[in-house]
Amino acid sequence: MKLSKIATLVRPSQTLSISDRANLEREKGIDIINFSAGEPDFDTPENVKMAAISAIEDGFTKYTEYEGIYDLRAAVADYLERFNLKYAPEQIVVSNGSKHALKNAFTAIIDPGDEVIVPAPYWNSYIDIINMVYGVPVVVKTKKENVFKITVEELERVYTEKTKVIIINSPNNPTGVMYTEQELREIAEFAVEKDLFVISDEVYQSLVYSKKLQHISIASLGKEIYERTIVITSLSKKYAMTGWRVGFSASNLEVAKAIGNIQSNSTSNVNSIAQVAAIEALDNTEEEAEKMLKEFQHRRDYIAQRISDIPLISCMIPKGAFYLFVDISKLIGEKVDGVEIKSSKDVAEILMDKYKVAVVPSEAFGYENYIRISYATSMRDIVEGARRIEKFVKDHF
């Protein structure tokens, strides 16, 4: 008996695997610092939990519209207006987190063999999701000198007759980099000229650390690019709702209908109770979200400074999201306990095994010589984790 080609291609999510490993160690009583998965340590706001409890008590426990309840889609449309995005509720589909929204979106637009341009460093799951729909990921390694942003010249270089989609992720996971309006305009022009779709992953659109730096959605830059962009977002990061699994896609009506049809035959609606909670999150949780954002900013400033103070390793200050992308290239080729460090995987392994700090090596994101630190964790863990990373460098180099 033989499994499918997809089953052999798809790997477990590396961010989740490392986080699971860290959590398992913690359950065993080991004091591990978990800088791996990007998951806010905050509890879901009280009003959101209460809305869910009321939904259960009111018996809101049956199937809903498979694209999501209308009021929720309307709330998402209102929310997206903050980013100059105008969608009717019918253009929104509520899915089980942004991964599911992405899988639906790719299923709706990709035929076997179609190529998807993925700028690296990328969020690890893109590659596996593209493989799952028989697409071909075409990875473009962006340059550090370009602050890890893809340029039109790079797009031109990899473009073929089979190119169908470009993925843009701003603010970016794992770098925290944000594209400017001008950069997005250039990419949009390219996409329009070549008749491509754009999947715009905007999961971190509200986690931006400067009032002057508004998140810009590529879909907001004109009618033509709006028509060919699928915006993906979720509630997980902004409202500390990772476990609720609520994500969205916003697109033109034809794509939205296709996504809805696909979902109607796979998962049906997102959990009815989570949908009610999602409306409450979007309508009444701004103050809480603002507080969490401030705290993330505080943590970012602290960890970025601490890492910058450690010799041999360095980082940029992320503009958005909640990750620090740390350059460890100067450690490559050095020896730890007689064994040569060959990659960031080796560094992550040593940090996990010997210093009990879980980080994600950049190979997971299609890039070499970096580690990703998620600072969506408690200040206590950030202080202690920074101390342990510093000790690792000082002990061996």
Which residues of this chain interact with ligand GLU, rule CB under 6 A?
13, 15-16, 37-39, 123, 125, 173
Comparison of 19 and 271: residue with beta carbon closer to ligand GLU: 19
| 116 alpha carbon, distance to own chain's centre | 17
- Residues of the chain by 3-state class (helix, strand, coil), percent to 5: 45, 15, 35
For residue 159, count other CB atoms closer than 10 A to its CB.
17
Residue whose CB is less far from ligand GLU, 89 or 174: 174
Residue at token pair 């009321």: 54
Residue 18 beta carbon to ligand GLU: minimum distance, rounded to whole angstroms: 9
CB of 78 to ligand GLU, least distance (A): 25
- Smallest gap from Cβ 38 to ligand GLU, in A, equals 4
Sheet holding 370-374, edge to edge: 314-315, 323-327, 370-374, 360-361
Least separation in angstroms between CB 237 and ligand GLU: 8
Cα–Cα distance, 241 to 235 (Å, whole number): 6
With respect to ligand GLU, which residue has the nearer C-beta, 55 or 371?
371
Query: Of 301, 332, 336, whose CA–CA distance to 318 is shortest?
Result: 301
- Smallest separation, CB 11 to ligand GLU (Å): 12
Closest approach of Cβ 14 to ligand GLU, in Å? 8
Contacts of 309 (CB under 8 A, 6+ apart): 390
Residue 173 or residue 344: which is nearer to ligand GLU going by CB?
173
Nearer Cβ to ligand GLU (198/203): 203
What letters, b where the CB count within 10 A reaches 16 and e where it falls short, cover 310-349? beebebbebbbbbbbbbbbeebeeeebeeeebeebbbbbe
* CB atoms closer than 10 angstroms to residue 46: 10
Please state, in angstroms and rounded to a whole number, the distance separating the CA atoms of residues 105 and 219.
15
- The H-assigned helical ranges of the chain are 5-9, 14-27, 46-57, 70-81, 97-109, 125-132, 152-158, 181-193, 223-228, 253-264, 272-284, 286-309, 344-355, 379-396
Nearer to ligand GLU, 16 or 132 (CB): 16
For ligand GLU, the closer CB: 325 or 392: 325
Question: Given phi > 0 = left and psi -120 to 50 = alpha, else beta, which region is 195?
Answer: left
Least spacing, CB of residue 31 vs ligand GLU, in Å: 21
Judged by CB, which is closer to ligand GLU: 20, or 154? Answer: 20
Coil vs helix vs strand at 10: coil
Supply the minimum distance, in Å, between the C-beta of residue 13 and ligand GLU.
5
Least separation in angstroms between residue 273's CB and ligand GLU is: 22
Q: Name which of 260 and 385 has its Cβ closer to ligand GLU.
A: 385
